[in-house]
Amino acid sequence: MGKTNPGRFFEDYRVGEVIAHAVPRTVAEGERALYHALYPARHALYSSDMFAQDCGLESAPLDDLAAFHVVFGKTVPDISLNAVANLGYAEGRWLAPVWPGDTLNSVSEVIGLKQNSNGKSGVVYVRTTGLNQNGEPVLEYVRWVMVRKRDLDAQAPETVIPELRTVVDPADLVIPEGLDFTGYNFALAGEPHRWGDYEIGEKIDHVDGVTLEEAEHMLATRLWQNTAKVHFDATFRPDGQRLIYGGHIISLARALSFNGLANAQMIVGLNGGAHANPAFSGLTVKAWSEVLDKAETPAPGVGALRLRLVATKDGADPFALKGEDGKYKPEVLLDLDYWALIPT
Amino acid sequence: MGKTNPGRFFEDYRVGEVIAHAVPRTVAEGERALYHALYPARHALYSSDMFAQDCGLESAPLDDLAAFHVVFGKTVPDISLNAVANLGYAEGRWLAPVWPGDTLNSVSEVIGLKQNSNGKSGVVYVRTTGLNQNGEPVLEYVRWVMVRKRDLDAQAPETVIPELRTVVDPADLVIPEGLDFTGYNFALAGEPHRWGDYEIGEKIDHVDGVTLEEAEHMLATRLWQNTAKVHFDATFRPDGQRLIYGGHIISLARALSFNGLANAQMIVGLNGGAHANPAFSGLTVKAWSEVLDKAETPAPGVGALRLRLVATKDGADPFALKGEDGKYKPEVLLDLDYWALIPT
Amino acid sequence: MGKTNPGRFFEDYRVGEVIAHAVPRTVAEGERALYHALYPARHALYSSDMFAQDCGLESAPLDDLAAFHVVFGKTVPDISLNAVANLGYAEGRWLAPVWPGDTLNSVSEVIGLKQNSNGKSGVVYVRTTGLNQNGEPVLEYVRWVMVRKRDLDAQAPETVIPELRTVVDPADLVIPEGLDFTGYNFALAGEPHRWGDYEIGEKIDHVDGVTLEEAEHMLATRLWQNTAKVHFDATFRPDGQRLIYGGHIISLARALSFNGLANAQMIVGLNGGAHANPAFSGLTVKAWSEVLDKAETPAPGVGALRLRLVATKDGADPFALKGEDGKYKPEVLLDLDYWALIPT
């Protein structure tokens, strides 16, 4: 097995190290169609070139989460092949739309390391940047994962825990060039609700549900060239179940959130996120959102909503989140905190 | 749940009302590839740009039924979210091909209303038009659905039942501009049978079968942005089954009909259709056709066949349709009546 | 059923006969995206237009195996609809890349016939050529299949067994025009191993596994317009199982071989292949490779590796192949022998 990639272990990372990930990927109209087949995605800006042009863009970009998955997928062989858990996200920003025909690469910098007290694993913090064929960054985010050690006797590195913002400052959000919602067509978009109609603290039950299928989560995860065995190989886990890529749940919940947030068109910031419980085929996923904050932007007619997006599974109570012990309820799959752009 | 779409109920419709549906959708080569992955589609005009050019078209259009599904899907949130049953189709005409890159919208006019005698629901008749980015109609059809009332005490509207033709007059069929079958290559198309080889009353058993899968019907139905819960959420029906979108069966049966009707290239008219029985994952679908009528067209080398397309499931007798009681046999899934263009 | 295709039987073939297969097919970016969704394909030359351009090509071609499947799929209705078994491949060569937008056709010449001693079936040898819209051959290969007789009393044809090379001579491999690996970026490609790093006799366990799903193998097989009933109709075989298209296993194993052979970018020769045992949904496929031979090529920086690619299923020992009786072990699904181009 000398030529295969065993993945990196905790002791293989150094703070400051920059890892250029393989494999570059050109995304085009095929990926757009597949995204619409895999998720009940209906946000008009990504569904219609005409609608996008009426909003000042050259055409419909690739869904922001598809861009995230492509950038993320490349990091898996270098960052999370031996990960025990994906612990968190922070400081995520979409920096430029991804257009059909663009080719994406990913680069990660190790920005923190902390060996666990058990000596068997540690937490690795990386800041990942996705770049297009012109070398322009299209996305950056921090994530941290718990990674096993290969050699339990390997010396613990100096602990470095990066200071991470709990929320992206609205002033730091990057509005796509030309974006203009002053002529926004609410009828075509599907709902009349605009920025001013949402109140901080408001919760929205997105009502619809989708039952998970093995073929669907595998098609999606493969499309993003995410290679983690646990998603594809039913013989890998002792229980014979394929663990569903957390990003599949993110995209599914975001698409379900159309029903109530149809005008929250573009995702521009990722403040944080937790994959609260594992997801498996056969579960039915539903979603709810909470408006956490609101902000103005300098772009014409464009406001920002900070949203909590929660995905739940069968048996969840309305707006289920955490129990009295402060821990996520077992029916909660995802708790995501993001900024979206919406017409004012 | 004030921001989510509860769907319209019977008392929400008014005759003459025009509903502009969300969300516009750009279709391209990705949708074409997915159509070929989801259905055993082999009609050469849709499979090959070269073949389509040799027939006088600029390139292979999107499959006529894919265009139908995109247009239909947009109507679901406004027309059939609270539908009990999809009762029928009439006066369907394809008015222009849909080319890769086109953006489609849908508009429906309410043309009839009839409250049921039980007072709990009523029948809504709509004429739906699909339009491309230039505002040109690409498809129109009438369908009627049974819709529940929200308020059982709501007053019954005046009954208006539209006069609908049982068959589209061949003179009203729209032949795509430039279509010319005089140089048609039967060898490449896969079968030698031309217009003159089919006789009225002739029945064709299409032989092949496809077993239905949850992942496949959901991918297809999602691709057309059809949002009806019953297709995706296994917890929605008491029996835990996901009802398969009727259009999935239409496309499947049409694709199977290649074997015997390979030259019935373009669908230009939809005379009627019944989803005779519900379809679920695990069933094996087969199809048979009957030649109902023949007509000439003004286009060079182009004739029209009026075809009955019947989809059946496991255990159906050959050419199964209706029992002695005049009702569809339980093994029959679909009875569709359409016009197709075929070389003379 | 007079209009449907019953397929050809053994007595229907004549040596020297040329069969032009239906249906031409245009392949584009949708097929590329689907290939990445269906298989864990990561070879950079097919994933990134930029990477392909850096290797002297105009853009990323369609995966070589996707081209193979499209060409192969067209032959099924004429060659293998009544086949009992797909017996072998030989003398396969990729002659030109298939670019997005190309339209492919297939033509086969019958080059051999041998009735079996039982008088019920015989072996048909065909040389199939895939052609693009300019009439340029893109692929050719020989395969032989065992086909049933319709009429057991039909006279046996004169036996003609073609002389076939057991391996394509490296001098006969066609290097895509312009291919140049002198500026090859190993970091982007995912592995540092070059031609010189592989030794004849070296074996590589590709480690990763994928569990087979009905929806996935059917989507793939349909995409290539392969119409063999046995892949789609669960009622066709007495055991109720859908036999998985052998080409699905080839593509899956090849994609898995990225892990250890990431730089074996282009497939240019098919020396032979055996579908050792049938594959069904639910099995988990893994793969291993053996370096059978090495050759130089005239293209700058480009070497060739002759590789054995073996796909196995659950329970296979490492590097499982044949038992002491010389027969394939029951856990072996595929034994493929091919030439690939790799940077020197």
Per-residue model confidence as pLDDT tens digits over A114-166: 999 999 999 999 999 999 999 999 999 999 999 999 999 999 999 999 999 99
Rounded Cα distance, C200 and C180, in Å: 24
Whether B1 has a pLDDT exceeding 80, the answer reads: no
Count of A–C CB contacts within 8 Å? 134
Rounded Cα distance, C305 and C307, in Å: 6
* Closest CA in chain B for residue A207: B4
Mean of the per-residue pLDDT values of chain A: 97
Whether C1 has a pLDDT exceeding 60, the answer reads: no
B171–A contact, CB cutoff 8 A: no
Rounded Cα distance, B98 and B31, in Å: 12
- Of C39, B5, B100, C80, the closest CA to residue A259 belongs to B5
Q: Which residues have CB under 8 Å from B110's CB, separation 6+?
A: B13, B14, B15, B16, B17, B18, B19, B124, B125, B126
Percent of chain A with pLDDT over 70: 100
pLDDT tens, residue by residue, C277-333: 999 999 999 999 999 999 999 999 999 999 999 999 999 999 999 999 999 999 999
Q: How far is B242 from chain A (nearest CA, A)?
A: 9
Per-domain boundaries in chain C? 1-27+62-164, 166-344
Task: Please give the structure tokens belonging to residue B121.
Answer: 């629901």
Same CATH fold assignment for domains B1-27+62-164 and B179-344: yes
Whether A1 has a pLDDT exceeding 70, the answer reads: no
What pLDDT was estimated at residue C256?
A: 98
Whether B116 has a pLDDT exceeding 80, the answer reads: yes
A315–C contact, CB cutoff 8 A: no
A235–C contact, CB cutoff 8 A: yes
What pLDDT was estimated at residue B6?
A: 84
Q: What is the mean pLDDT of residues A1-19?
A: 91
* Closest CA in chain B for residue A30: B30
Backbone dihedral region of C252: left (phi > 0), alpha (psi from -120 to 50 degrees) or beta?
alpha
Neighbours of C294 (CB within 10 A): 17
Distance from chain centroid for Cα A16: 24
DSSP string, C209-222: -EE--HHHHHHHHH
Task: Please give the structure tokens belonging to residue B247.
Answer: 């259009």
DSSP string, A222-268: HHTT---GGGT-TTTSTT-PPPPPHHHHHHHHHHHTHHHHTT--EEE
Rounded Cα distance, A269 and A140, in Å: 9
Residues 8-37 of A with CB under 8 A from B: 28-34, 36-37
Q: Which residues have CB under 8 Å from C21's CB, separation 6+?
A: C74, C75, C77, C78, C105, C106, C107, C108
pLDDT tens, residue by residue, B204-213: 999 999 999 9
Among B19, B23, B102, B104, the strongest candidate for a mutation testing the A interface, having the largest count of A CBs within 10 A, is B23
CATH topology of domain C166-344: Thiol Ester Dehydrase; Chain A (3.10.129)
Domain B179-344 -> CATH class = alpha beta
Q: Does the CA dihedral C260-C266-C268-C273 come out positive or negative?
A: positive
A270–B contact, CB cutoff 8 A: no
Of B33, B207, B213, the CB nearest to C30: B33
Q: What is the mean pLDDT of residues B179-186?
A: 98
What pLDDT was estimated at residue C84?
A: 85
- ipTM of this complex prediction, to 2 decimal places: 0.96
pLDDT tens, residue by residue, A238-266: 999 999 999 999 999 999 999 999 999 99
Tell me phi and psi for residue B35, to 5 degrees: -60, -40
Distance from chain centroid for Cα A79: 16
Mean of the per-residue pLDDT values of chain C: 96
DSSP state, residue B160: B
What pLDDT was estimated at residue A277?
A: 97
C171–B contact, CB cutoff 8 A: no
Whether A307 has a pLDDT exceeding 90, the answer reads: yes
Of B48, B193, B204, the CB nearest to C24: B48
Whether B328 has a pLDDT exceeding 70, the answer reads: yes
CB contact under 8 A, A30 and B33: yes
Rounded Cα distance, B287 and B204, in Å: 9
Domain A171-344 -> CATH class = alpha beta
Tell me the residue ranges of DSSP E strands in chain A. 18-26, 83-94, 103-115, 121-131, 137-148, 203-205, 210-211, 266-274, 284-296, 302-312, 332-343
CATH topology of domain C1-27+62-164: Thiol Ester Dehydrase; Chain A (3.10.129)
Of A24, A214, A225, the CB nearest to C50: A24
